[in-house]
Structure 1
Amino acid sequence: MPVSPLPRRIAIHVLACLAFLALPYVFAPHGLTGQLKLIGTSPHEQTTLLGYVLMLAFLYLNYYVLIPRLYFSHRYGLYTGIMLLGFLAIGFVMTIRDRHDFFGDPPPFGGQPSAEPGRMFPPPDAFSNRQPPRQERQAYSLPPSGDMPKPGYGFELNQTLFLFLVGVFVTLSLRVSGRWRQTEQERVASELSFLKAQINPHFLFNTLNSIYALAIEQSPHTADAVVKLSSFMRYVTRDTGNDWVPLQRELDYIEQYIDLQRLRLADTATVSYTRNGSTAGLQIAPLLLISFVENAFKYGVNPAVDSPIRIAATLQNDQLHLHVGNRKVRQASSAGESGGIGLANTRARLALLYPDRHTLTITDQADTFIVDLTIQLA
Structure 2
Amino acid sequence: MNEEWYQQKWAVAVRHIVAWLVFFSLPYLLHATNESWEREHINEKQAWINYQYYTDAVLVIFFYLNAWVFIPKMIYKKKFFKYTLYILGVFIFMFTSRYIFERVILKSLHPLDLRPTILFTFFIFFTVLSASTAFQMIVDKLRQERKNSAKENENLKTELSLLRSQVSPHFMFNVLNNMVSLARKKSDVLEPSLIKLSSLMRYMLYEADEEKVPLQREAEYLQSYIDLQQQRFGKNVVINVSLEAANSNYEIEPMLLIPFVENAFKHGTGLITDARIDVNLSTRPGMLFFSVRNKYNETSSEIKDKTSGIGLANVKRRLNLLYGDNYVLHIEKKEDWFIVSLQLNLH
Task: With the length of structure 2 as denominator, give the TM-score of the two structures.
Answer: 0.71
Give the deviation of 1:173 after TM superposition: 1.5
In proportion to residue count, which structure has more helix? 2
Alpha carbons of 1:335 and 1:267: their partners in 2 closer, same or farther (altered >3 Å)? closer
Q: Which residue of 1 aligns with 2:320?
A: 351
Give the deviation of 1:353 after TM superposition: 1.9
The one-letter amino acid of 2:217's match is: R
- 1:238 correspondence with 2:236: no
Alpha carbons of 1:161 and 1:304: their partners in 2 closer, same or farther (altered >3 Å)? closer
State the distance in 2 between where 1:298 and 1:84 align: 69
- 1:374 correspondence with 2:339: no
Alpha carbons of 1:302 and 1:21: their partners in 2 closer, same or farther (altered >3 Å)? same
Map 1:229-308 to 2 at 5 A: 229-276=197-244, 278-302=246-270, 305-308=273-276
- 1:221 correspondence with 2:219: no
Q: Deviations over 1:259-280 (max 9, x none)?
A: 2222223333222222335543
State the distance in 2 between where 1:53 and 1:240 align: 56
Q: Which residue of 2 aligns with 1:29?
A: none
Question: 1:324, 1:371 within 8 Å by CA — same for their partners in 2?
Answer: yes
Give the deviation of 1:314 after TM superposition: 1.5
- SS of equivalent residue, structure 1 residue 219: coil
The one-letter amino acid of 1:109's match is: K
Q: Gapped runs of 5+ residues in structure 1?
A: 26-31, 112-136, 142-148
Q: Which residue of 1 aligns with 2:330?
A: 361
- 1:171 correspondence with 2:171: no
Alpha carbons of 1:332 and 1:236: their partners in 2 closer, same or farther (altered >3 Å)? farther
Map 1:30-49 to 2 at 5 A: 37=29, 43=49
Alpha carbons of 1:57 and 1:298: their partners in 2 closer, same or farther (altered >3 Å)? same
- 1:153 correspondence with 2:121: yes
State the distance in 1 between where 2:195 and 2:62 align: 68
The one-letter amino acid of 1:240's match is: A
Once structures 1 and 2 are overlaid, which stretch shifts more, 89-98 or 237-246?
89-98
- SS of equivalent residue, structure 1 residue 207: helix
Alpha carbons of 1:96 and 1:369: their partners in 2 closer, same or farther (altered >3 Å)? same
Q: Deviations over 1:298-332 (max 9, x none)?
A: 22235984332211112223221111111115847
Q: Which residue of 2 aligns with 1:320?
A: 288
Which of the numbers 141, 151, 164 marks the counterpart of 1:196?
164
Superposed CA RMSD in Å reads 4.7
Give the deviation of 1:372 after TM superposition: 0.3
- SS of equivalent residue, structure 1 residue 326: strand
Question: 1:269, 1:303 within 8 Å by CA — same for their partners in 2?
Answer: no
Matched length: 323
Q: Gapped runs of 5+ residues in structure 2?
A: 34-47
- SS of equivalent residue, structure 2 residue 283: strand
The one-letter amino acid of 1:154's match is: F
For CA contacts below 8 A with separation 6 or more, give which structure has more relative contact order.
Answer: 2
Alpha carbons of 1:304 and 1:342: their partners in 2 closer, same or farther (altered >3 Å)? closer
Once structures 1 and 2 are overlaid, which stretch shifts more, 261-270 or 335-344?
335-344
State the distance in 2 between where 1:85 and 1:248 align: 69
Alpha carbons of 1:361 and 1:155: their partners in 2 closer, same or farther (altered >3 Å)? same
Alpha carbons of 1:8 and 1:283: their partners in 2 closer, same or farther (altered >3 Å)? farther
